[in-house]
Structure 1
Amino acid sequence: MPTPAGYPGVYIEELPSSVRTIASVTTSVTAFVGHTRRGPLNTPVRVTSFADFERRFGGLTSQSAVGYAVHQFFGNGGTVAVVVRVTKAGTGKAARVTLESTEGHSECPVLEVHAKEPGHWGSGLRLAVDYDTPCPEETFNLHVLDARGASRESFTNLSMDPAHGRHAETVINAGSGLIRVKVVGEGRPDPSGTVSKPFAEELPDLEVELTVKIGEVERAFTLYDPDCDGEAPCDVTELALLLERKLRALPDAPGKHAFAGTEVTAFGRRLQVVAGSIDPDDVVRFLGECANDLGLEASVNPPVFPLSGGEDGAPPGPRDLVGSEADKTGLQALRDIEDVNLLSLPELAGYESVGDMVTVLSAADRLCRERRIFLLVDAPSAWGSVDAARAGIGAFEPVRSDHAALYFPQLRLTDPLTGRLRAFPPSGAIAGVMARTDGERGVWKAPAGTEARLAGVYSLAVQLTDRENGLLNPLGINCLRTFPVVGPLVWGARTLRGADALDNEWKYVPVRRLALHIEESLRRGLQWVVFEPNTEQLWQQIRLNASGYLHTLFEKGAFKGGTPRQAYFVKCDKDTTTDEDIANGIVNVVVGIAPVKPAEFVIVKIQQMAGQFEI
């Protein structure tokens, strides 16, 4: 808005810049779709390290090619992955347990608890409940433990009242990464272990003999001995400390920690005694009249409440991997997430039927075209020789896409689970090499050559010679080779449309990926154009913004040519946008680039010279 001039002088007005920066999008975020040990079903989850993958998806398992592919991805330079867990439809169950309440003097279920995700892993979860809260007569605490008894999650001051600010179902379901709960009755869940009756203000006589039984082990002891224990406890808290010390001093069963790890907690006027064991059979029971007089036989429960019944889902079939676009399952789950540049489907290499493999690849290719993703295809594991690869490539004619590249042969690595060598599909490692190359050189550099070393690879399933490489390269098969000193590496950079017979403009992987990168960057960077007045001023701003972005790539070496004019152009004017286009609300921008193609064949000519050199 112009500054109003009310007096003679100099006025300063700051004008906003009309230049809008177009930022480059990511180039190497890789999506892995398939079977994992655990994790949310059909939900894309972003992970930034293999340790992150282990926490979210359970790590390696012999039934999951995805776990190994992710491991190889990060081992070869990958930085960000998106994992979608898929299982066979109708398989897999979540472990569960129902907590009961006896507060109304009759047992009734009050809280259903189940693992957040299907799988056997949930059967390793344990729950502990206590009433050690500011309002011990109304609220409770819920602790989630693992199979070793280590604390994983804790939720405090919970209430079963839906109107309470700490309603158990609301708080746990919103904050837990391990469990989900549903309130199914009134009353609080019973606490873990043995809970006493409320003690009076004045403690009873404590110079008594008590007998305690944990599991099958029974021990007797004196609760309070004036000669050994000093002053008598004067409140419930001091009594809890005394009882805990006495129980922990008792001889334990061989190999057990039930007595030695006993915990005694005071809340309100009551005591809670829990065995130092996560074995549900290690219930603490106080026996005899003295225990009854002290109120230590009031409520007896196991030390933990175990979840059970979890079952792993079976590996997905072709239909499960393809998924449903309406339900966003399988591959279609990737439609909900931005910034995915590469796609790996390592399970396909193990399919016995090439037809099933082609079915999944067809669906993946449609997704890749719509979302500007590049697909990494693993050669079938049945291709155990060059002749098998030459004979089998014909089955891939229906999916010869310029958005995909096929790599052969498989990699031989040491399996971290067994310590033995075995073959793995290469797409995870290839994606890591692409990520490393993009970071060091740029997406326009072919992810192949002596810099494209495959880390951690012991050998290749098929050792190729130069002559055999020459038979496969013209067919659009990217070969993995082993060279002296350098070791295993990527020695091909063609798309599936890169066969010599097809003569396609998208022959090379870096050219295709550079174009996808520019398309997506311009699409996002020009969103501001929508609803702007379609005039020459707008066209000028578009040319300025797009040219600035492309010039940045030119300076980095993404295009061939010695000058910007030779490297790229941006055209947006009355020639590209006619009056009819303006009437229809359309603005047309034409962008041309001269990509750098890889030097696939290097020919060196040597001539022998006769005569003597004069110095």
Structure 2
Amino acid sequence: MSMNIATPGVYIREINSLPPSVAGVSTAIPAFIGYVEKAERDGLGVPMCTPVRITSMLEYESLFGGAYAQPFSINIADTADIPVTSSSVIETRTITVNQDTADSDFRMYYHLQMYFANGGGPCWIVPVGVYSAITIKKGALQKGLVALEKISEVTLLVVPDAVSADLSDLDRKAIYEDALAQCEGMKNRFTVMDVPQSATPAPVSDGNTFRNNCVGPDNLNYGAAYYPYLDTTLNYGTNPLLIQVASYTINGVPDTAFDDVRDFNTDVSKALQGTKDALSYLMVATETLSEEDAKAVQSIVTTVNANVTSAGNLVGDLPPEFELAGDIIEAILVDTVGSEGEMVLAVSEAADFVTTTDKTNANALKTALQKLLYELETTMTKMADGYNDPSTEFVGGNLNYLRDNQPSVYTEVMSAVAGYRVMLNPSGTIAGIYARVDTNKGVWSAPANVGVRNVIGPSVRVTNQQQGELNVDALSGKSINVIRNFQGRGTIVWGARTLEGNSNEWRYVNVRRLFIYLEESIKRASERFVFEPNDANTWVNVKAMISNFLTGVWKDGGLTGATAQEAFFVNVGVGTSMTMENVLAGEMIIEVGVAAVRPAEFIILRFTHYIQE
């Protein structure tokens, strides 16, 4: 740079003696795409398919809520015997817990728990719907994938809900193929997939179904699949309002009026939970005002209204001994279930919201639902106090009464519920393991032969022969990595192959991800030279910058070779990587070659019988 020297004096010109450096990009920043309990920040809804960056489980819970509440039913049987030889009463209590419904397909919360427990750090969440959506939809997950094209920091794609029973194999194929196509197009990310596990798991059969029906033939080196599901140590998400006491007997005799009280309690509980769901959905709908969201809110509100009306009708059927409780509850519900009540008005406003998608109507509906929520919560509190017949131990339908009046029974029930553990597809866990291996060893290390945290074990014990058929497939080449349990070692990830398992270049996960890391790091560092002169000075700086970066990777163990020259090469300039025609066209072409470290999957020991001379 020339200096305009017009005045006598001393002038200083600072000259950079060192080339610019390459800053390595982050390597394990996953994006989780799926359904959440809510989507709310600072009192405002987060529009669906809006990527949000988080750094902890606490932050996830504040923005997106908790796990889907798994319904349970409880049967309690108390016996009180007075033995002949003693005047002391011996009480025996039997508590039976039943899982009312199959595991919910909404599993995102559990995957985040496993991700952070296994070493995960910052990640992105893409909410595509809330639990009130009832079913998981292919189109919503695909929209979430499209939204991630704008986020360059993401390096891993995880779609835990893709194994949902709501989706067909054809739906899964469309989702996974979209993810792989995005990885190949952007060349800065990798997809972690789950192999759906059948109701009666059969490793080889499940693997073949996945290969044939759930993933196509293209872009396979940008993804890896894992099997089987994991028996985790996680407890199900619960809600005391949804844990129903189906029966309560004392010496074989049911409590008085139990059926009516239980039915009433059940309806009010469902209405309360539904109102919370509707409010969560409405927080999002008021941001987007889409007709699809509006219809979903209307459907929920209509169901809530039906449950509250049903509960109100039961008040008059309760026995005389519960007259006080009936009066309390009827007074609370009268404005809600009456012909001129708030809920009827709310449903009417919901219909207007669908047809006009008017934010004023949406806010009016939100106000009505908030009032209903308050009334229902008050109902549940009053019910715990009002339904307290001194002649019996318990007459409530859910756990509110037990929690407030019989804490010892409540503790026993919750302990029994905690005995149920979540079985989970492994993709979220694997994303955490990728992050842990990257931090401890480097992205060039195979994410295998490492322990899985927070698990009891794999849900299926895979044999050596079965793993051989999953690991190597001569026809499709779609390798499937297996999670296994070894005696004395615990649960281990025992495989590190991409779906392109027959490729000599891209067979291994760590090789593919190493090249993503190198390419993205060098690409970003080279952008500073876009408008620099395309001459020898620039070429020298570029070559020195990349060479210094690759030397550091080689010294850290990321490249193989006794010397740096054996580990990599960098060519840039006329006669090596480009011609004068390229220079005149404004093209600076850089050639980089690296020798990646590959895992020794098969260690072969040769023994020769040595005959003594």
TM-score normalized by the length of structure 1 = 0.59
- How much has 1:387 moved relative to structure 2? 3.0
Aligned length: 378
* Partner in structure 2 of residue 57 of structure 1: 64
**Which runs of 5 or more residues in structure 2 are unaligned?**
40-45, 69-103, 237-416, 474-478
Aligned match of 1:604: 605
Code of the aligned partner of 1:71: Q
* Corresponding residue for residue 592 of structure 1: 593
* Aligned mate of 2:227, from 398, 408, 411: 408
> For residue 319 of structure 1, what is the aligned residue in structure 2?
139
Residue 485 of structure 1 aligns with which residue?
488
1:112-164 CA-partner distances (Å, limit 9, x unpaired): xxxxxxx8xxxxxxxxxxxxxxxxxxxxxxxxxxxxxxxxxxxxxxxxxxxxx
**Which of 55, 64, 78 is residue 48 of structure 1 equivalent to?**
55
1:413-562 aligned at under 5 Å gives the runs: 413-417=232-236, 419=418, 420-449=420-449, 452-475=450-473, 476-498=479-501, 500=502, 503-562=503-562
Give 1:13 shift: 4.3
Q: 1: CA distance between counterparts of 2:189 and 2:580?
A: 35
Distance in structure 1 (CA, Å) of the matches to 2:8 and 2:204: 90
- Provide closer, same or farther for how the CA distance between residues 83 and 316 of structure 1 changes in structure 2, counting only shifts above 3 A: same
Once residues 231 and 219 of structure 2 are traced to their aligned partners in structure 1, the CA distance between those partners, rounded to angstroms, is: 27
Check 1:490–1:404 CA distance in 2 against 1; reply closer, same or farther (3 A cut).
same
SS at match of 2:152: coil
Distance 1:390 1:539, change over 3 A: same
Question: AA paired with 2:49?
Answer: N
Q: CA deviation at 1:466?
A: 1.6
Mapping 1:559-578, distance limit 5 Å: 559-575=559-575, 576-578=577-579
| 2:212 corresponding residue in structure 1 | 394
Contact kept? 1:361, 1:399, Cα under 8 Å: no
- Percent of pairs identical after alignment? 33
* 1:14 alignment counterpart: 14
Give the secondary structure class of the aligned counterpart of 1:27.
Answer: coil
Alpha-carbon contact 1:31-1:344 (below 8 Å) kept? yes
Superposition TM-score, scaled by structure 2 size: 0.59
More helix by share: 2
Distance 1:399-1:6 versus aligned 2 partners, 3 A rule: closer
Structure number, greater radius of gyration: 1
> Any idea what the Cα deviations from partners look like across 1:489-524, whole Å, max 9, x if unmatched?
1101110011x3xx3411110000000000100111
Native 8 Å contact 2:197 2:206 kept in 1: no
Q: Relative to structure 1, is the Cα distance of residues 44 and 7 closer, same or farther in structure 2, using a 3 angstrom cutoff?
A: closer
| Residues 86 and 316, structure 1, Cα contact 8 Å, conserved in 2 | no
CA distance 1:367–1:6, shift in 2 (3 Å): same
Describe the SS at the equivalent of 1:423: strand
**Amino acid corresponding to residue 477 of structure 1 in structure 2:** I
Q: State the shift of 1:339 in Å.
A: 1.2
Q: Per-residue deviation at 1:381? A: 2.5
Q: Could you tell me how far 1:63 is from its partner in structure 2?
A: 4.8
Match of 1:245 in 2: none
Q: Which residue type is aligned with residue 348 of structure 1? A: A
Aligned-pair CA distance for 1:580: 1.3
Of 166, 170, 194, the residue aligned with 1:378 is: 194
Letter aligned with residue 584 of structure 1:
A
Q: Match of 1:448, SS?
A: coil
Question: Is contact 2:21-2:549 (8 Å) kept?
Answer: yes
Please show how residues 320-359 of structure 1 align to structure 2 within 5 Å.
Answer: 320-323=140-143, 330-351=144-165, 352-359=167-174
CA distance in 1 between partners of 2:486 and 2:608 (Å): 27
Q: CA deviation at 1:535?
A: 0.8
CA drift at 1:60: 1.8
Alignment RMSD, CA only?
2.2
Q: Compared with structure 1, are the counterparts of its residues 31 and 569 closer, same or farther at alpha carbon in structure 2 (3 Å cutoff)?
A: same
**Selected match of 1:368 from 167, 179, 183:** 183
**Does the 8 Å contact 1:48/1:80 carry over to 2?**
yes
Larger RCO of the pair (alpha carbons < 8 Å, separation 6+): 2
Alpha carbons 2:235, 2:421 under 8 Å: kept? no
Per-residue deviation, 1:462: 1.2
- SS, match of residue 192 in structure 2: strand
Provide the C-alpha distance between the structure 2 equivalents of 1:20 and 1:596, rounded to a whole number of angstroms: 27
In 2, Cα distance between equivalents of 1:399 and 1:80: 30
> Residue 77 of structure 1 corresponds to which residue in structure 2?
119
Letter in 2 for 1:458: I
